[in-house]
Amino acid sequence: MKTTQILIAGFGGQGILFAGKFLAYKGLLEDLQVSWLPSYGPEMRGGTANCNVILSEESVGSPIITNPDVLIAMNLPSLQKYVDAVVPGGQIYVDATLIGEKVGRDDVAVFYIPATQMANEAGVPTLANMVMMGHVLKNHPELTFEGTEETVAKLVPPQKAQLVELNMKALQAGRDYQ
């Protein structure tokens, strides 16, 4: 891996920014150069939210992503908006519970994960974002699943330590999805 540009997009409230922070911290703990850029406009309040994460072996240039290597779409408007921006040979992760459509491109790898349904079934209904992240990690062996718990612990306030376990449950469900 030299540089991976990851775009995560969905509704406000789906944990889009948190998922991005998770990837950024994971990269940080693996000694990569990282950047995390949120959308901070009025759209994130109840509308669409997105987040640009760059993981790189070299120092990160522009933190703004125009053509992602990896798109994680958590709702239909996000998929429609960014599907054509993904570089040929890139990856698209789709929350198949919320998005009924198929991706109409054959030059990218597409992963359909019923993340919202899986999160509900695992008893962590608010963590579809982390189910998606689990599957992303599975396909990016360079990020390794090892150290994931440490990463989550960095993101969760100490007084809410029980959330680490729940996040791990969601991540594992995503990783194990075939």
Partner 1 sequence: MAERVLMKGNEAIAEAAIRAGCRHYFGYPITPQTEVAAYMAKKMPKIGGVFLQAESEIASINMVYGAAAAGMRVMTSSSSPGISLKSEGLSYIAGSDVPAFVVNVQRGGPGLGGIQPSQSDYFQATKGGGHGDYRMIVLAPASVQEMASLTIKGFNLADKYLMTAMILADGTIGQMMEPITFEEAAIETYDKPWALTGTKMGRKHNIVSSLYLKSDELERKNFERYERYKVVEENEVMYEQYMMEDAEICVAAFGIASRVAKNAVAQARREGVKVGLIRPITLWPFPKAVLRQAADQVKSFVCVELNMGQMIEDVRLATECRRPVSLCNRTGGMIPSPEQVLSSIREAQKGVN
Residues 57-96 close enough to bind partner 1 by CB under 8 A: 60-64, 66
Which among 31-39, 116-124, 129-137, 139-147 is the span making contact with partner 1, rule CB under 8 A?
31-39
Q: Which runs of E-coded beta strand occur in 48-144?
A: 48-56, 70-73, 91-95, 109-113
Closest CB to partner 1 among residues 40, 162? 40
Under the criterion CB under 8 A, does residue 9 sit at the interface with partner 1? no
Closest CB to partner 1 among residues 23, 132? 23
Q: Smallest distance, Å, CB 175 to partner 1?
A: 23
83 within 8 A of 90, measured Cβ to Cβ:
no
Closest CB to partner 1 among residues 66, 144? 66
Q: At what angle do helices 162-176 and 148-155 cross, to 10 degrees?
A: 140
Closest CB to partner 1 among residues 85, 161? 85
Residues 33-52 close enough to bind partner 1 by CB under 8 A: 33-38, 40-42
Helix ranges (H only) for the chain are 16-29, 76-82, 115-121, 128-139, 148-155, 162-176
Q: Smallest distance, Å, CB 36 to partner 1?
A: 4
Supply 66's token pair.
Answer: 């125009």
Q: How far apart are CA 125 and CA 134, in angstroms?
A: 15
Q: How far apart are CA 155 and CA 15, in angstroms?
A: 12
Q: How far apart are CA 172 and CA 130, in angstroms?
A: 9
Centroid of chain to Cα 64? 16
Which among 7-15, 19-27, 128-136, 164-172 is the span making contact with partner 1, rule CB under 8 A?
19-27
Which among 29-37, 89-97, 129-137, 163-171 is the span making contact with partner 1, rule CB under 8 A?
29-37
* Binding footprint of partner 1 on the chain (CB under 8 A): 21, 24-25, 28, 33-38, 40-42, 60-64, 66
